[in-house]
Amino acid sequence: MKQMIPALVIISVLFYALYLSNQPKQTKSPIEKTEKMTNLKYAKHIEAHKEHHFEEELKRLRTSQYTKEYIVSVINHGSNQFNFRGGEMEGGFASPNDAAKIACYVLELSGKKCKQAHEKDAPMFYSSICAGCHGEDGKGLNGTYPDLTRKKLLGVEKREAFLKSLMAKTK
């Protein structure tokens, strides 16, 4: 009996291999399945839109809300896209919570408005965190720090030019 053990082991391994080779192959990995679902959802989402996303964005770009979101994003993530002598602006000078308040105050400096007037502590945050570079009045320092009271902020202007170039390509 003892001599038969190796033979039995070999036979069982062979049977197991045979069993495995007859198993239907798993056609899709979970990742492939998720990708397919996501693509499907995206396709439906695109279909539901009558116009391109960038056309919608172009319309939104003229609103104060859009400018506010841009300012908040600069405060949170910084900006390094222009050629000011001040160099780049780092993100995180203010907490995300304060960023929204400060953004409303900056809008007011340029004669625009958030839905609600800026919160009480917003000017204090602006003065202590931003004014050192952008000035108490937000007008910046010629060539060194950008003017935050421009009718259209540089970043918004740049985004608009980009979206328009996309639009020109699809026409």
Give contact residues for ligand HEC (rule: CB under 6 A).
71, 74-75, 79-82, 84, 86-89, 93-94, 102, 106, 129-130, 132-134, 145-146, 148, 153-155
Alpha helices, DSSP H only, in 49-139?
53-60, 64-77, 96-109, 122-125, 131-134
Nearer to ligand HEC, 39 or 96 (CB): 96
Report which of 149, 133, 127, 163 is spatially closest to residue 51, judged by C-alpha positions.
163
Contacts of 136 (CB under 8 A, 6+ apart): 127
Give me the least distance between CB of 91 and ligand HEC, in Å please. Answer: 10
Q: What is the DSSP letter of 135?
A: -
The token duo for 124 is 């204090």
Nearer to ligand HEC, 86 or 123 (CB): 86
Nearer to ligand HEC, 26 or 105 (CB): 105
Nearer to ligand HEC, 52 or 131 (CB): 131
Q: Is 107 exposed, middle or buried (0-12, 13-18, 19+ CB in 10 A)?
A: buried
Give me the least distance between CB of 55 and ligand HEC, in Å please. Answer: 22
Give me the least distance between CB of 44 and ligand HEC, in Å please. Answer: 35
